[in-house]
Amino acid sequence: MNETIYNFDSCPERKGFGSLKWDKYKGRDILPLWVADMDFRSAPEIIDALQARLDHGVFGYTIPHEAPIEAVLNYLEGRHGYAARAAWLNFLPGLVPAINLCCHAFSEPGDSVMTATPVYPPFLSAPDYAQRELIKVPLCLNGADQWTLDFDAMEAAVRPNTKLFVLCSPHNPVGRVFTQAELTQLGEFCERHDLVLISDEIHCDLIFDPEVSHIMTATLNESVAQRTVTLMAPSKTYNLPGLACAFSIIENSRLRAQFQKTIRGIITEVNCFGYAGCAAAYQYGEPWRQALLAYLRDNYALVREFIEQEIPEITFRPMQATYLAWFDVSALGLKDPVGHFEEAGVGLSDGTPFDAPQHLRLNFGCPRHHLRAGLERMKAAVAPR
């Protein structure tokens, strides 16, 4: 099927291209399985669209225009059942600046911002950079294996000065897809405490578990929609993070005005290639995405089986989405887990900036032989102990 047409088994050489992921380990034999970009070539339909834009030869300032706006609106409605309007959109060169600017836009210095940990590190640094206080509420286990929001702990931790809840849905790094019930309960929590709900849904099209599907927070009901700021991008799914094109969706006109005032003069326009890639991804990228998900599903199964059978000292819980596996390595008793595995030739993300020391994150968005080699190196690093 498409999976074989697209050939995810091979990838171009990335060393020497200024790749954050690959050039980190210059001169060292380390397989990079860390930062969240995949090693696959993007969809041919996207590459063709970028080529056509390149052939135009004029790369002037670019404003939001019909092609990306239409592609985004059709995508939101077609894939997620969200009938958004063009006026609710803001195109942005990245979601990390958006998370930071949300802290400025929707709270005052000295206010507090709540999130559930472990979580993508910019969620934890953004409040601090804006001189807001960070309230971290650890996710809890729902039964043996599934991470969920700890509503009791959230109720105990929320304060009168708490203004924002920042949600990662699906969740990076634990790979959870939240259910309608969980999201509804979160919406009620935000209403009770009058919090703006920042919903980062960048991983929403990377669900490989066929049993679950993504629910956009803003589609829960009208009152949740009115306090939600949705952050999205085609970048994770279609492997376009270097094109720097993301967008926010804000229905509430007061919140939208606050956000637009805050980003004014600070956030640059998205460049012409970002728009071209975004439009092509949502218009033509679906067959490639389906093939990608099939490949990621098998890579996930490989990671699961390998860890369970070959390195049972590592705790790895089932996940439903993303290409980022989250390992609890505390049983290995390592002083420096990242350094230990780098010595063995495999580069992983450190859990510490996610607020989880003794955890590691592995990116399985790579050719399978490459993933297998990384896992073998991890096994060798644990074996002699």
- Residues in touch with ligand PLP (CB under 6 A): 36, 94-96, 120, 168, 172, 200, 202, 233, 235, 241, 246
C-alpha 293: how far from its chain's center? 15
Task: Find the shortest distance in angstroms from Cβ 276 to ligand PLP.
Answer: 17
With beta carbons less than 8 A apart as the criterion, state whether 302 and 140 touch: no
* Residue closer to ligand PLP, measured from CB, 84 or 267: 267
* Residue closer to ligand PLP, measured from CB, 91 or 341: 91
Per the omega criterion (within 30 degrees of 0), is the bond before 287 cis? no
- Helix, strand, or coil (residue 304): helix
List alpha helices for the chain, DSSP H. Answer: 2-6, 44-56, 66-80, 95-106, 122-129, 151-157, 180-192, 222-225, 235-238, 253-263, 272-284, 286-310, 337-343, 368-382
* Residue closer to ligand PLP, measured from CB, 282 or 306: 282
Give the Cα separation of 338 and 24 in Å (integer): 14
Task: Find the shortest distance in angstroms from Cβ 245 to ligand PLP.
Answer: 8
Q: Which residue has the tokens 């919406």?
A: 187
For ligand PLP, which residue has the nearest CB? 94
Q: How far apart are the first and last CA of the chain?
A: 43
Task: Find the shortest distance in angstroms from Cβ 331 to ligand PLP.
Answer: 26
* Residue closer to ligand PLP, measured from CB, 120 or 316: 120
Tokens describing residue 79: 């894939």
Q: Which residue has the tokens 């369970």?
A: 308
- Helix, strand, or coil (residue 246): strand
Give the Cα separation of 323 and 206 in Å (integer): 8
Q: What are phi and psi of 114, to 5 degrees?
A: -105, 145
Task: Find the shortest distance in angstroms from Cβ 130 to ligand PLP.
Answer: 16
* Residue closer to ligand PLP, measured from CB, 198 or 293: 198
Task: Find the shortest distance in angstroms from Cβ 156 to ligand PLP.
Answer: 25
Task: Find the shortest distance in angstroms from Cβ 172 to ligand PLP.
Answer: 4
Task: Find the shortest distance in angstroms from Cβ 161 to ligand PLP.
Answer: 25
* Residue closer to ligand PLP, measured from CB, 90 or 235: 235
> Torsion angle, CA of 62/65/67/68, rounded to 10 degrees?
80
With beta carbons less than 8 A apart as the criterion, state whether 46 and 285 touch: yes
* Residue closer to ligand PLP, measured from CB, 122 or 187: 122
* Residue closer to ligand PLP, measured from CB, 105 or 311: 105
Q: CA 192 → CA 91, 161, 172, 250, distances in Å?
A: 30, 13, 26, 20
Q: For the purposes of burial, counting CB atoms within 10 Å of the CB of 197, is it exposed (0-12), middle (13-18) or buried (19 or more)?
A: buried
Task: Find the shortest distance in angstroms from Cβ 155 to ligand PLP.
Answer: 25
